[in-house]
């Protein structure tokens, strides 16, 4: 059912429910984890580093959930809204995979996730209000930056951490597809200043989540 058939109050409560589920309920993936079945023993320093990197990626997926939900809520074209919802579903898989891997590494999720969710939802909703082409351009640019971020993490992982590596490789593949889809639907190139602001914001989030 189209979200526009619901009243404003229903939609607000619906978004609150989604936020609670993302932040407090264990995510369930529709796809099997791509994590490699074989895992070499990690040194303690390697385990801690992998846990911190996967915590950053988990926070990124929390933000992605909020971003897509905000954009879907304010999308004008039903096709664009449906594309956002589909991307959000795949990001749920990523969220579940990162959460599972964090547990395996005896890591924890970021204490700042509620802040990342609220901020990303607001940004997504604003992008949608500015128009579908701007919103789609925002997705395309976000996914380009996420792809770069994931490739950096792949280089930083210990060679022995096969399970985390396999997860990040599949996530990279999915993010490339999301960006390509957004561009194919008519996403427009964002101004340089906005792209730079997005990179700076991403750096703040990743560094904070790495430690907190």
Number of domains in the chain: 1
Given a contact cutoff of 8 angstroms between Cβ atoms, the answer to whether 185 and 79 are in contact is yes
Yes or no: say if 185 and 136 are a contact pair by the CB < 8 Å rule. yes
CA 118, CA 32: separation in Å to the nearest integer?
Answer: 29
Question: What are the tokens at 163?
Answer: 């399970």
- Average the pLDDT over 132-154 and give the result: 87
| Whole-angstrom distance, CA of residue 81 vs CA of residue 74 | 8
pLDDT of residue 17: 57
22 occurs within a structural domain: no
> What residues make up the domain containing 77?
43-211
**Predicted confidence (pLDDT) at residue 52 exceeds the cutoff of 90:** yes
Does residue 12 belong to any structural domain of this protein? no
Residues 105 and 50: beta-carbon distance below 8 Å = yes
Q: Look at residue 177 and tell me if it is in a domain.
A: yes
DSSP state of 36: -
Kindly report, residue by residue over 14-42, the tens digit of the pLDDT.
Answer: 666 566 556 665 667 777 888 877 767 88
Residue 31 lies in a domain: no
178 is a domain residue: yes
Burial, 176: exposed, middle or buried (Cβ in 10 Å; 0-12, 13-18, 19+)?
middle
Q: Worst-scoring range by mean pLDDT, 55-59, 76-80, 145-149, 162-166? A: 76-80
Percent of the chain with pLDDT over 70: 85
176: in domain? yes
Query: In the 8-state DSSP scheme, what is residue 187?
Result: P
> What CATH number does the domain containing 169 carry?
1.20.1260.10
Residue 10 located in a structural domain: no
Full-model pTM: 0.84
172-201: pLDDT as tens digits: 998 888 888 888 888 888 888 888 888 888
Determine the pLDDT at residue 11: 60
Q: Model confidence over 99-120: pLDDT tens digits? A: 999 999 999 999 898 888 888 8
CA 155 – CA 177 distance, rounded (Å): 21
Determine the pLDDT at residue 50: 94
In a domain, 179, yes or no: yes
Q: Closest Cα partner for 170 from 155, 150, 156, 152?
A: 150
pLDDT of residue 4: 47
Q: What 8-state DSSP symbol labels residue 112?
A: T
Whole-number pLDDT of residue 14: 62
């Amino acid at each position: 059912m189209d979200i526009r058939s619901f009243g404003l109050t229903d939609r607000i409560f619906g978004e609150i429910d989604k936020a609670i589920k993302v932040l407090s309920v264990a995510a369930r993936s529709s796809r099997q984890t791509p994590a490699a079945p074989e895992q070499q023993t990690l040194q303690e320093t390697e385990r801690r580093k992998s846990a911190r990197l996967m915590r950053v990626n988990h926070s990124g997926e929390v933000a992605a959930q909020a971003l897509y939900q905000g954009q879907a809520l304010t999308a004008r074209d039903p096709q664009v809204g449906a594309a956002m919802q589909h991307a959000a579903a795949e990001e749920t898989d990523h969220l579940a995979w990162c959460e599972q891997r964090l547990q395996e590494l005896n890591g924890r999720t970021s204490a700042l996730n509620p802040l990342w969710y609220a901020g990303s939802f607001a940004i997504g909703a604003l992008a949608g209000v500015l128009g579908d082409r701007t919103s789609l351009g925002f997705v395309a640019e976000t996914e380009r930056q996420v792809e770069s971020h994931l490739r950096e993490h792949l280089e930083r992982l210990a060679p022995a951490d096969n399970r985390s590596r396999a997860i990040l490789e599949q996530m990279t593949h999915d993010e490339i597809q999301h960006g390509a889809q957004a561009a194919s639907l008519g996403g427009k190139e964002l101004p340089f200043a906005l792209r730079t602001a997005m990179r700076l914001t991403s750096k703040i989030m990743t560094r904070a989540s790495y430690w907190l």
